[in-house]
Amino acid sequence: MAYSTNASAPPSGGFRWLQLIIGVVCMAMIANLQYGWTFFVSPMAKAHAWDVASIQVAFSIFVALETWLTPLEGWIVDSLGQRGPRLMVAAGGIFVALGWLINAKATSLEMLYLGAVVSGIGAGGIYATCVGNAVKWFPDRRGLAVGCTAAGFGAGAAVTVIPIQIMIASIGYADTFFWFALGQGGVIFVLAWFLRPPLPGEVPPASAVKVLQSKTSSTPGQMLASPMFWLLYLMFVLVSASGLMVAAQLAIIAKDYGVSQTVLLFGATTLTVAGIIDNVANGSARPFFGWVSDQIGREYTMAIAFTLGGLAYWLLGTAGTTPWTFVICAAIVFFTWGEIFSLFPSTCTDMFGPKYATTNTSLLYTAKGLSAFVVPLANVLKTYSGSWHSVFAVAAIMNFIVVALALFVVRPLRLNASEKKNPVVQAAE
């Protein structure tokens, strides 16, 4: 695997930008499945006398299936050729709608878990397809394109934070599940039919970037045999777990701090303001840090982002107990967490090449599924310690570990591979 750092950027057509926009919108339509979940937890617990930890198992199931099945879904998309993206995303739209319809009718935890299974399968197919399509259409702007696509998933829920809360308060959580299922699933199903991968010669070749980038591609099997992949996987798990703990528990944390219902701005409560700002911060971080990483390198960008993230978790546990400090600290947490979904796919493709990028990045993305099972443990730790401070201290330490690995392990290994002009793994010719 030889590394390239110098070439010229050829012109690009406008059709690929339409493909990117469609992908972003589809990602926005599945954002509530993860980032809007926190607003449904307390109403469900109250209506059915379910304990919060048991309800959050559904969240873990959703995230696990939304991630662990993406390699298979990505392989199906690639195998179907030009039909792949539209068929997978259309099916995904049906599945995410059906999943929330099941949630609306769930009268048992088992039924709620079934809804999580169905919606997780659908969301994973949509996520893998849209990210894979962005990688294929934008070989010359990898970090930015993946960041924009992932931003749809991170920030998409921001515009529906207030409507969801208003609807839950007025018509109940079940009917809110029902109507959002139809609306989100319907938009995805319609847009799916406009998606397709690029034809040969339809996109520019990869242009020079300011980061180390492989000219050759490793197969999924070769990538899985590389210790560098598993190092990236460990780093992804650590950072993803810390962010998911907050994403799933935001409403509960605000309630425990006694600030959730405090009117903060224009009649909106602290939780509402935090929900809007956090989703915007989470989404904007992805293209921003993706672009930054194209300029200064993936590892340096990770070091900056995750150092700030570790400090943000610590501050949320020590100083986030007032309305405005809660909003500010939570926003910084989301801003320094969301970029993992642009940095890690970009780094993976830099290291292992673009040919199998859809499958390879999907394999790395399964780390998010593993990290989801840390979410219920946060409740256990909070109950054992009696406060959220210990949870946030652990999250901060996890981020600082990743900073050290990025600077002192990953970057030296990649530089060494570049200087010796040897592959990080045996590359496919």
Summarize pLDDT for 103-152 with one digit per residue, the tens: 999 999 999 999 999 999 999 999 999 998 887 888 778 888 899 998 88
pLDDT greater than 60 at residue 348 = yes
Amino acid 195: pLDDT: 95
Whole-number average pLDDT of the chain: 86
Q: What is the mean pLDDT of residues 220-246?
A: 92
Q: What is the pLDDT of residue 209?
A: 54
**163 CB contacts (<8 Å, ≥6 apart)?**
none
Is pLDDT at 1 greater than 50 in this prediction?
no
What is residue 276's predicted lDDT score, i.e. its pLDDT? 83
The class level of CATH for 15-198+225-418 reads mainly alpha
Percentage of residues in the chain having pLDDT higher than 90: 47
Q: Which of 13-27, 30-44, 131-145 has the lowest mean pLDDT?
A: 131-145
Asked if the model's pLDDT at residue 231 lies above 80, the reply is yes
Q: Which of 116-120, 199-203, 412-416 has the lowest mean pLDDT?
A: 199-203
Q: Residue 346 pLDDT > 60, yes or no?
A: yes
Please, which pLDDT band fits residue 245 given cuts at 50, 70 and 90?
confident
Residue 305's pLDDT band, with cuts at 50, 70 and 90, is: very high
In sequence order, the β-bridge partners of residue 269 are 263
As a dihedral over the C-alpha atoms of residue 109, residue 392, residue 244, residue 330, rounded to 10 degrees, the angle is 110
Reply yes or no on whether the pLDDT at 426 is more than 60: no
Q: Helix, strand or coil for residue 217?
A: strand
CB-based contacts of 219, cutoff 8 Å, min separation 6: 356, 428
Top pLDDT among 372 and 291 is at 291
- Say how far apart CA 309 and CA 327 lie, in whole Å: 15
Given CA atoms 401, 407, 413, 418 in this order, what sign does their dihedral have?
Answer: positive
The pLDDT score that the predictor gives to residue 83 is: 92
- Give the model's pLDDT for residue 389: 86
- Hunting for tokens 């949320």 — which residue is that? 316
Instruction: From residue 230, give the alpha-carbon distance in Å to each of 164, 210, 367.
Output: 39, 25, 10
- By mean pLDDT, which of 11-15, 282-286, 369-373, 377-381 is the weakest? 11-15
Residue whose tokens read 């996890």: 398
User: How are the residues of the chain apportioned to helix, strand and coil, as percentages rounded to the nearest 5?
Assistant: 75, 0, 20
Give the mean model confidence (pLDDT) for residues 317-338: 92
| Cα distance between residue 83 and residue 88, in whole Å | 9
The pLDDT of residue 11 is: 40
Confidence class of residue 10 from pLDDT cuts 50, 70 and 90?
A: very low
Angle at 400 between CA 62 and CA 300, to 5 degrees: 95
pLDDT at 183: 94
Side-chain-side CA neighbours of 101 within 13 Å: the count stands at 13
Residue 78 has pLDDT above 60, yes or no: yes
| Amino acid symbol at 361 | T
The fraction of the chain above a pLDDT of 70, given in percent, is 92
Task: Give the closest residue to 37 by CA, choosing from 387, 264, 275, 274.
Answer: 275
User: Which is nearest to 290 in space by CA: 129, 141, 135?
Assistant: 141
- Checking if the pLDDT of 428 tops 90, the result is no
- Given this model, what pLDDT does residue 4 score? 43
The count of residues in the chain is: 429
The region of weakest confidence among 207-211, 335-339, 378-382 is: 207-211
Looking at the predicted structure, is the pLDDT value of residue 236 above 90? yes
Task: Decide if 214 contacts 1 (C-beta within 8 A).
Answer: yes
**Residue pointed to by tokens 């406060």:** 387
Measured from the Cβ of residue 416, the count of other Cβ atoms closer than 10 Å reads 11
Displacement of CA 325 from its chain's centroid (Å): 25
Of 368, 362, 360, the closest CA to residue 425 belongs to: 360
Average pLDDT score over residue span 379-390: 84
The C-alpha R_g of the chain, in whole angstroms, comes to 21
Angle at 244 between CA 239 and CA 245, to 5 degrees: 105
